Structure 1
Amino acid sequence: MFTGLIEDTGRVMFFERRNQAGSLQVETSLPVNEIAIGDSVSVNGACLTVTTKRDRLLTFDLSPESLGTTTLTKLRSGSMVNLERALRLGDRMGGHIVTGHIDCIGRLVRSQESSGNRILEFSLPPENARYLVAKGSVAINGISLTVNRVTPSGFSVNIIPLTQAETTLSALKSGDEVNIETDIIGKYVERLTQPWKGSSSLSIKTLAEYGFL
């Protein structure tokens, strides 16, 4: 589990496809000596497992699922990625609960400056948009952000200068694709309430019969 607070922006050293899977190596300023083989690291929001490490380099194996549902296939040597180590017991929850399981790929449709901040508007599939609420949380390329407003086809976020400086968001341009993870709480609520959808016998007529109207 992660919080969406980026610890480092790493540089891709290589990315290669292996049939339906792949391998990714990233150079990082994170303390590699504190990262064990088998540890989870969020790479642009996708939870990946460290398979090898040396010096300042971390290597990850990518499953067909990771390649098929994320933007990781677009990475090239020199690409910059957001990195965050998995949350430890006792760490501060500075962002929100981020699982590292990408829901969909979004697209930046508009970017504008506003009072020193940057407003980014993204589009995403309708089936994922229903989990977004104004002032709720969303993870974009692993970054915990507050939804500024929800639009018919997507949503917008307000990016402060610090977030631009310490993540890869400053390099985004219109048309670029990003990894989107919506808030896990909304998905659990939907799942838990599904059995009761349409099963209630409560109606205006029933309320009137019992004197509530």
Structure 2
Amino acid sequence: MFTGIIEEKGEVVAVEPAGDSARLSVRGPVVTSDARHGDSIAVNGVCLTVVDVAGDVFTADVMKETLDRSSLGALAEGSAVNLERAVRADQRLGGHIVQGHVDGTAVLRSREPGERWDNLRFSLPEPLSRYVAEKGSIAIDGISLTVTTVDDDGFGVSLIPTTLKLTTMGERRVGDVVNIEVDVIAKYVERLVVRP
């Protein structure tokens, strides 16, 4: 489990295609400081299992399901990524419950700079729209954010200076594809209410 509080921006140092999967190597001094084989690290919100650590670089295998449902397949050497280690049971939950199980992708539709923050608008795939609520939580590329607006065309978020500086959201441009994870509690509530 993760919290959506990004620990650092990392850099992809290698992407090795392997048929319908890929091996991804990422530089991240903070997240590799105590990483071991088998640990979980979220890369742009996708929970990956560490298979190797060499210095400040970790390697993970990315399967077809993950490549199909997320934006990880578009990563290349030099790509910046958001990184977060799995939360320990004795830590504060600073964001919201983030599983690292991406529900789909969205497209950045507009960006309006404010005096100290930016307002961003994203498309929202129709099957996910029922799980997004104004003032609810959503994870975008692994970042825990509060939804500011929702309508039939998508949703909006506002980014504070810290988020703009310390995550990849400060670099995102209109047309960029991002990973979306909706609030897992909404999915469980729906399952309980709809199930016969």
TM-score when scaled to structure 1?
Answer: 0.90
Amino acid in the other structure paired with 1:51:
V
Shift in Å, 1:129: 1.0
| CA-to-aligned-CA distance 1:152-192 (integer Å, 9 cap, x gap) | 11100000111100000011111100000000000000001
Q: What is the aligned partner in structure 1 of residue 158 from structure 2? A: 158
Q: What is the aligned partner in structure 2 of residue 194 from structure 1? A: 194
How far apart are the structure 2 equivalents of 1:166 and 1:159? 11
Residue 175 of structure 2 is aligned to residue 182 of structure 1: no
How far apart are the structure 1 equivalents of 2:73 and 2:54? 24
Q: If you compute each CA radius of gyration, which structure gives the higher value, 1 or 2?
A: 1
Shift in Å, 1:141: 0.1
How far apart are the structure 2 equivalents of 1:128 and 1:134? 14
- Residues paired across the two proteins, number: 196
Q: What is the aligned partner in structure 2 of residue 77 from structure 1? A: 77
Moved over 6 A (4+): none
Q: What is the aligned partner in structure 1 of residue 130 from structure 2? A: 130
How far apart are the structure 2 equivalents of 1:161 and 1:31? 22
SS of residue in 1 equivalent to 2:164? helix
**Change in 2 beyond 3 A, CA 1:152/1:137:** same
**Change in 2 beyond 3 A, CA 1:132/1:31:** closer
Q: What is the aligned partner in structure 2 of residue 89 from structure 1? A: 89
Shift in Å, 1:15: 0.8
Identity rate, percent: 44
Which one is further off, 23-32 or 171-180?
23-32
Residue 26 of structure 2 is aligned to residue 18 of structure 1: no
The answer to whether the Cα contact below 8 Å between 1:129 and 1:153 also exists between their aligned partners in 2 is no
Shift in Å, 1:46: 0.2
SS of residue in 1 equivalent to 2:17? strand
SS of residue in 1 equivalent to 2:15? strand
SS of residue in 1 equivalent to 2:30? coil
Shift in Å, 1:31: 5.2
SS of residue in 2 equivalent to 1:30? helix
How far apart are the structure 2 equivalents of 1:92 and 1:129? 29
The answer to whether the Cα contact below 8 Å between 1:4 and 1:142 also exists between their aligned partners in 2 is yes
How far apart are the structure 1 equivalents of 2:72 and 2:32? 22
Report the aligned-residue RMSD.
Answer: 0.9
How far apart are the structure 1 equivalents of 2:31 and 2:142? 19
Q: How does 1:20-35 map to 2 (within 5 A)?
A: 20-30=20-30, 32-35=32-35
Residue 42 of structure 2 is aligned to residue 42 of structure 1: yes
SS of residue in 2 equivalent to 1:67? helix
**Change in 2 beyond 3 A, CA 1:30/1:130:** same
**Change in 2 beyond 3 A, CA 1:156/1:33:** closer
**Change in 2 beyond 3 A, CA 1:5/1:31:** closer
How far apart are the structure 2 equivalents of 1:159 and 1:16? 33
The answer to whether the Cα contact below 8 Å between 1:104 and 1:124 also exists between their aligned partners in 2 is no
Structure 1: 5+ residue stretches without partners: 197-213
